[in-house]
Structure 1
Amino acid sequence: MTHSVLLIGGNRFPFHRLADRKTAITAAFDDRIDVTTTTDKDDLTDLAGYDAVVDYLTDSTLSDEQRDGLLSFVEDGGGYVGIHCAADLTSTVADDPDELIDSREEPFPDLREMLGGHFVTHPEQSVVDVRIVDHHSPITATLEDVSVWDEPYVLDVDDDVRVLARMDHPEHADMPVAWTKPYGDGRVFYCSLGHGTASLTHDGVQALLRNGTRWAVGDE
């Protein structure tokens, strides 16, 4: 059975451009996942026909209609897969197209509730040692620990998410890397890895994203 997913991202900023990352992200999927890519946030207003949204947006500013379309889709049973920058729920667009501004002290609350965590900061890119800590989830049951060059995210994470993988960073100690949670009737999977091509093309990271997307659409 083939599942249809919408991969959404942006091309406005010099980092996390979907144009630069979509080939690596879609390479993680197999022929069970049919991917449509977009940079148009209005596509979130009508998600009929999709089984999941794969989110690689850096700018989390959505109109009420766009946000309600995404939230209701997941709440009504759709899947949501957040990759790396999808957890940056405080950034908004500045006048300079290559710049983000942090104009909110708190993340967008309804998106934060759905995701189960949000980005706080990150140290410099480095080799990240990722430990699988839940071998009972179908996402990580067959996966091994990985070491990958990436931008390690420091995240504020809810206590009730199911953490699948963690990292231990010398500056920020132990930190969740991947988790799942329910949202209404839908399934949410988040992975903080994926800043650049080096991590997105890593076999272990691709397996994590592939399994997480399968789980989000209910194909286990």
Structure 2
Amino acid sequence: MNFALPALPYAYDALEPYVDATTMNIHHTKHHQTYVSNINKVLDGPHGSALKGLSLAAIQANIPSLPESIRTPVINSGGGHYNHAMFWTLMAKPGSANVTPMGSVKAKIDGDFGSFDQMKTQFNAAAAARFGSGWAWLSVGSDGKLFISSTANQENPLMKGVVAQSGTPILGLDVWEHAYYLKYQNRRPEYIAAFWNVVNWDQVAVNYDSATAGNTAVFDTPVA
């Protein structure tokens, strides 16, 4: 039993003009597919039994307990699959979802950061400052507070014992060059600013409510 590339919840051109269709197609069918193929190779390998029966989210949370020989490929490929599969759900066609936070997640953002704009400023700074490839995240910590972090490569906040600050991610942004270079070239801050036009705040609200209900796997993908 293996993982499979999930279908996008929208057409490749749905996020235009903020994310171009060519980038979305390559990002999904080439980059994400590679992560899926490579984590499946780990599953089929000599130490793949350590992953059997674990969902994708559970794999992220159990990396320190895995055999040392597969930890790095699991972080790179399992993390890549998880991060991208979640990322697609965090975006929506402009105008098809709430364009700003609503309800309990809005109240929490205002309470923990002072305002939505102040949260955006911190998030943008984390995304822009990530050296090389990685991600920016908005997560719920073990203390119930929201925090912003940046992780390298395909690491994510679920990876306790791997990342500096662990928690349950509810919003994330891919800042690898393959996510934006065709349209924005080296203008990462412009790409980051454009991202806010396609954030699916309805989904972020669902993720937040799930996280605060004690579900650390607000997004998950089972072994196919």
Do the structures match in fold with TM over 0.5? no
> Rg: which structure is higher?
2
TM-score (norm 1): 0.32
- What TM-score do the two structures reach when normalised by structure 2? 0.31
Higher relative contact order (CA 8 A, sep 6+): 2
Give 1 or 2: higher helix fraction: 2
